[in-house]
Amino acid sequence: MAIADALRDNPLTSSEREIMNTVRLHEPISRAALVGNTTLAQPSVHRNSESLIARGLLHVGVPDRGLRGQPSPKLSLAREAIYSLGVSVNTDSVVVALADMGCTVVEEVRLRTPPLSRASTLSAIRDLMQRLITRHQVAREQVVGVGVGIAGFLLPGGRQVNSPEPLQDWSLVDLPPLLEEALGYRVRLENNGRAGAVGESLNGVGRQVRSFCYLSMNHGFGGGIILDGQLWRGINGNAGEFSGCLTPEEGLHRPALRYLVDLLRAKGVAVDSIEDLRLRFDPHWPGVEEWVDSVVPQLDRVINTLSAIIDPEVIVLGGQAPPALACMLIERLQFWDRNPRYGVGQVRPRLMPSESNVDAAAAGAAALMIKSLIYA
């Protein structure tokens, strides 16, 4: 039986998941160090780690030499045991990523054509997926499934998405069965902003902090909320639709990158798409400063709202925004500090650009499949 099927038939316990998550963050790590980095006692660590080794999820390495007593062997992830695929569907491009069991992206590829037609795009995605798993010699039974992140908000039940106009062909239809039939794997559907937050939690800022808000600047503007390492989805799966903090008039000046592309074109800058903007961004282009000045008041509203309601450690600016653009915005954003009582004010979140060196939404979509089986 494949490991993925065995995990579904015989799920990991909460203690096993805690060990797997700790090994992922600190590998290679000894059993003795696991005791200090988990809530588990030594007998429980030993028993559960032996179970995970037997199930093919952990490797046992050579213990450190030169230490007194019997050194404890080092444990690391059996990263090649299972893989997942992640797909990020943007308004003008598609990213497909292959991730190993550690939720590390092995490779990602981009389809730089607008995914206007669902059928033709899914056919191209399937071809890209097959090339990835063939190139990395991954057997089909090692793939636990495909996470698909798509721009737009989810409707109740989480099976339909209401996407921007360029993705009309993907909107208001029961997507999971269509995706599973076209791609040939189990599928999990998520909004791109929240998938990006998961990707950032595993491959970026989240490796240092457990709670943060992720602002995703794409064709539109949304994001996701990570609380104590977990994605907070909300009752309808739409927590992180940060544009909802703004009035309809303010929404016309939110940090949606389609407006920046429109302004740049009006100023004579030849920018083909948001993907082109991401690849060739120049902070000295005419129109960039004007756009930044126009969106800062709305972003100030969002970060102050998140600080007051969520109180995260960090607010990350990510999505398809070029890192240099995210840094320009961070330099101008301000928290509304009232006169601090007794001269002592509140501690505010740190503002940071995304630290993910891969497409966060595709990586997060892939990670969703693995996290549900392996990690706490």
Distance CA 114, CA 220 (A): 15
Are both 134 and 262 inside the same structural domain?
A: no
Residue ending a domain, choose from 46, 77, 108: 77
Contact call for residues 223 and 196 (beta carbons, < 8 A): yes
Are both 192 and 204 inside the same structural domain?
A: no
Are both 238 and 348 inside the same structural domain?
A: yes
Are both 267 and 283 inside the same structural domain?
A: yes
Contact call for residues 40 and 15 (beta carbons, < 8 A): yes
What residues pair up with 105 in beta bridges, in sequence order? Answer: 99
Residue 100: CB atoms within 10 Å: 21
Residue ending a domain, choose from 44, 77, 110: 77
Look up residue 235 and give its DSSP letter.
Answer: T
Sign of the dihedral through C-alpha 105, 107, 111, 116 = negative
List the CATH number of the domain containing 205: 3.30.420.40
Look up residue 216 and give its DSSP letter.
Answer: E
Given a cut of 50, the residues of the chain with pLDDT beneath it are: none
Look up residue 170 and give its DSSP letter.
Answer: G
pLDDT in tens, 117-159: 999 999 999 999 999 999 999 999 999 999 999 999 999 999 9
**pTM of the complete model beyond 0.95:** no
At residue 322, the pLDDT reads: 95
At residue 47, the pLDDT reads: 95
Are both 235 and 348 inside the same structural domain?
A: yes
Tell me the three state secondary structure of residue 229.
Answer: coil
At residue 22, the pLDDT reads: 94
At residue 112, the pLDDT reads: 83
323 — phi, psi (to 5°)? -55, -40
Residue range of the domain that includes 33:
3-77
Phi-psi region of 145 (alpha: psi -120 to 50; beta: other; left: phi over 0): left
At residue 338, the pLDDT reads: 74
At residue 71, the pLDDT reads: 65
Contact call for residues 116 and 169 (beta carbons, < 8 A): yes
List the CATH number of the domain containing 24: 1.10.10.10
